[in-house]
Amino acid sequence: MDIEQFRKAGYQAIDRICDYYYALQQSKFSVLPDVEPGYLRPLLPSNAPETGEDFSQIAEDYQKLIVPGYTHWQHPSFLAYFPAGFSFEGILGDLYASSVSNPGFNWLASPSCTELESIVLDWASQMLGLSSSFLNSSGVGGGCFQNTASEAALVAIIAARSAYKAAYPDTKLEDMRIYTTTQTHSLGLKAGVILGLSVRALEVTREDNFSLRGDTLRSALEEDKKKELHPFILIATIGTTSSGAVDNIAEIRTVTADFPEIKIHVDAAWAGMALVCPEFRELCFLEDINAIADSFSTNFHKWGLTNFDACPLWVRDRKYLTDALDITPPFLRTAQGDAGIVVDYRNWHLGLGRRYRSLKLWFVLRGYGVEGFQKHIRKAVDLNKFFVELVTSSNMLSLCAPPSLALSVIRINPKPSASNQATLPEDALNDLNKLFYGKLSARKDIILTQTVLNGQFCIRLAIGSAFTQEVHIRDAFELITHEAKLALEAWEQPQIGA
């Protein structure tokens, strides 16, 4: 393909992308594809072509074979997991970034890549209200992109382990311990597996809205210290996956004042974006995060209008990362790096090469502005409030946990009626709700996800697509109610026969 062929194919690609999003906004296709596992292999050759093919045929095959297999994460009725960020500014940012294929491992590899990342992540940090300690311009702390929140946590744990070993060199690795909670994302356990470190998941309860409380943390720390174990990092969460719970950072702050060797990493992958709105900062313990967090991560590629991937990790002290990760062979040395006058981001994460992510976030931040981000977040929160109102008016559905920003967790829990005052035992309710979720997940026109909260089988509804409007939430509630009635009827038939 030469330049002019690329120009022609590029115009066609943009046209088709625009047509796709027009159709998506109008819900002209379902959220989920109508394909079965393994659908694609029989449709493609078993080997790569020996000679190059005309791109027009490649583009047609993309439309005919690949697009029908997509799950449409930006669909107005995509209400599962957490949202996948999207904006047209982000698409264009990725397009421009990929046009200058650049591994960006040090400043010299492309000065504008490094310097734009440094500036854009300062913009983002200030927009979220993070302490000035986390600014790249501080010369002490700073932020850089990681691949995902899981990798950000892994990097934070590696840095914390290195710092602890430097302070307590006789500590055995098998005695070191990562703290998470029973509601922490799987990233904590996975990091333990990767690093060969033990992980203690602290129990959180329904009574505390699945939030880690100070007494629980203190008790665990004192217990492990008596066993001569060495807890060295706590992964605190702002917005857990299952219920959107927020760990009580204020109480964690009080407890860890007595255990200064413990590092604090705040995983705010989803809910961290809510910090752009001042009214949500107290809910998310921003003041306490700014006081004690050694590192903080959130995903702009979830609720932050930015196409995957865009996950910054900010640290209070950049030496926290570079002391653990800086390995500089002769072929990577540069005059600027040796002089210490530039940042080489390869020393802030696991890989050497890195994607040019800052350009798309720069485009998105400029295209929306702080007010645009605030409008996006508030809209999703308001839509969730509307959904909660519908649920609380229902005689079949109930909330399993307090609503959290744009996330609600529900289940069938029939309210006693005048003719039937009986309540179902928990095992029966779980069976009923598994049947209910089975009916919902068989549909193609909506997608939600399941979870378990302290033994209760529940269904999550997470709002975040920029295309979701109130009508879609009302339609979703009506559909959920319809399937709930069918599940109740199907579940009651065997009970009557018994």
Task: Provide DSSP, 317-372.
Answer: -THHHHHHH----GGG--HHHHHT-S--GGGGSS-SS----HHHHHHHHHHHHHHH
The first and second tokens of residue 281, run together, are 């900062």
pLDDT of residue 414: 80
Above 70 in pLDDT, residue 356?
yes
* Residues 69, 71, 75, 81, Cα dihedral to 10°: 180
The first and second tokens of residue 130, run together, are 């993070």
For the entire predicted model, the pTM comes to: 0.95
Above 90 in pLDDT, residue 493?
no
Where in the chain do CATH 1.20.1340.10 domains reside? 3-30+33-70
Query: Dihedrals φ, ψ of 199, to 5°?
Result: -125, 130
Tell me the HSE value of 123 on the side-chain side, using a 13 A CA sphere.
18
Confidence of residue 422 (pLDDT cuts 50, 70, 90): low
Of residues 376, 398, 420, the one with CA closest to residue 481: 398
Neighbouring C-beta atoms of residue 421, cutoff 10 Å: 7
The matching CATH number, chosen from 1.10.760.10, 3.40.50.10140, 3.40.50.720, 3.90.1150.10, for 366-497 is 3.90.1150.10
Confidence of residue 492 (pLDDT cuts 50, 70, 90): confident
CATH fold label, 102-356: Aspartate Aminotransferase; domain 2 (3.40.640)
pLDDT one-digit tens code per residue, 154-196:
999 999 999 999 999 999 999 999 999 999 988 899 999 999 9
Contact (Cβ atoms closer than 8 angstroms) between residue 285 and residue 248 = yes
Distances (CA, A) of 76 to 32, 91, 218, 254, 461: 12, 19, 44, 42, 12
Strands of 156-252, DSSP E:
176-181, 198-202, 230-237
pLDDT of residue 464: 96
pLDDT one-digit tens code per residue, 43-85:
999 999 999 999 999 999 999 999 999 999 999 999 999 999 9
Burial of 228 (0-12, 13-18, 19+ CB in 10 A): exposed
Of residues 345, 298, 348, 343, the one with CA closest to residue 322: 348
In the predicted model, what is the mean pLDDT of residues 403-423? 79
What whole-number distance in Å separates Cα of residue 413 and Cα of residue 424? 8
The single residue listed with the structure tokens 């509601």 is 183
Above 70 in pLDDT, residue 421?
no
When mean pLDDT is compared across 58-62, 444-448, 493-497, the lowest value belongs to: 493-497
Neighbouring C-beta atoms of residue 206, cutoff 10 Å: 13
Of residues 226, 214, 209, the one with CA closest to residue 175: 226
| Sign of the CA dihedral with 488 first, then 490, 492, and 495 last | negative
pLDDT one-digit tens code per residue, 266-278:
999 999 999 999 9
The first and second tokens of residue 29, run together, are 């296709």
**Long-range contacts of 181-186, Cβ-Cβ distance < 8 Å, separation of 24 or more:** 181/212, 181/237, 181/240, 181/247, 183/210, 183/237, 183/240, 183/241, 183/242, 183/243, 183/245, 184/235, 184/237, 184/240, 184/267, 185/149, 185/150, 185/153, 185/237, 185/240, 185/241, 185/267, 185/269, 186/150
Contact (Cβ atoms closer than 8 angstroms) between residue 301 and residue 309 = yes
Query: Dihedrals φ, ψ of 160, to 5°?
Result: -65, -40
Confidence of residue 494 (pLDDT cuts 50, 70, 90): low
- What is the DSSP secondary-structure string of 95-144? HHHHTT-----SGGG-HHHHHHHHHHHHHHHHHHT--GGG-GGGSSSEEE
Above 80 in pLDDT, residue 495?
no
Where in the chain do CATH 3.40.640.10 domains reside? 102-356
Residue-averaged pLDDT of the chain: 95
pLDDT one-digit tens code per residue, 17-37:
999 999 998 888 899 999 999
Return the axis-axis angle of helices 358-392 and 88-98, rounded to nearest 10°. Answer: 150
Q: Which residues contact 227 (CB under 8 A, 6 or more apart)?
A: none
Where in the chain do CATH 3.90.1150.10 domains reside? 366-497
What whole-number distance in Å separates Cα of residue 397 and Cα of residue 390? 9
Contact (Cβ atoms closer than 8 angstroms) between residue 313 and residue 143 = yes
Contact (Cβ atoms closer than 8 angstroms) between residue 238 and residue 285 = yes
* Domain spanning 3-30+33-70: CATH superfamily: dopa decarboxylase, N-terminal domain (1.20.1340.10)
Above 60 in pLDDT, residue 498?
no
Contact (Cβ atoms closer than 8 angstroms) between residue 263 and residue 160 = yes
